[in-house]
Amino acid sequence: MRKEKLEELNKIIEEFKTTEVFEPDIDKNEKFLTTKIRKFKLKNGQTIIRDQLFKNGKEGSSAIILPVKKNRNVLIVIQPRVFSARGVGIELPAGYVENGEEPIEAAKRELREETGCEAEELRYLGSFYQDQGCSRAMVNLFVALGCEKKYEQQLDKDEFVKYFECTYDEAIELVEMGYIQGAESVLTIERSKSIIKNNK
């Protein structure tokens, strides 16, 4: 990746780094992550007890999107990820599937909200469990082809996201250099290789 491009990315990363950590007083009913204890009886007659994780009261399935613009560049997003080593995530646009929403509709919505783009075509790349030991949440992977900016970002009040344009090869470099480390982003980039190659 060109030195100037990497400097541009590092400047955005610096903007979102944590400067202070504290514990706010929050009502337990306002917590984002909650668990419920479930008891399961198996066909073999045995019983097991497991905690099930919920995110904002929902199972927490999500959609993640690799946006490919008409000029064949891709968009990645940078946002605070305070529990990561860097404190900032370099990743692909993503978000939760709302109740009653299909994953592809969530992908279209999150693409628009985080980048302001619409795609000519969304292709499904498969899905996987976030953590099947404690959750039913699925991560649904998509590549969005022919993206064009049509809107301003529509972020939640506590969401801080900037997007960064680079070539597909530079995105792969960012994975190899350890900038992009989220499993969802790495897998989506990997699974999109044949589509990107054949879309030239």
Q: What is the pTM of this model?
A: 0.93
CATH of residue 183: 3.90.79.10
Per the structure, the complete domain to which residue 59 belongs is given by 3-17+38-198
68: buried, middle or exposed (CB in 10 Å: 19+, 13-18, 0-12)? Answer: buried
Relative to beta strand 138-149, strand 62-69 is parallel
- Tens of pLDDT along 84-95? 999 999 999 999
**Domain presence at residue 164:** yes
- Tens of pLDDT along 31-67? 889 999 999 999 999 999 999 999 988 999 999 999 9
**Domain presence at residue 24:** no
Percent of the chain with pLDDT over 90: 88
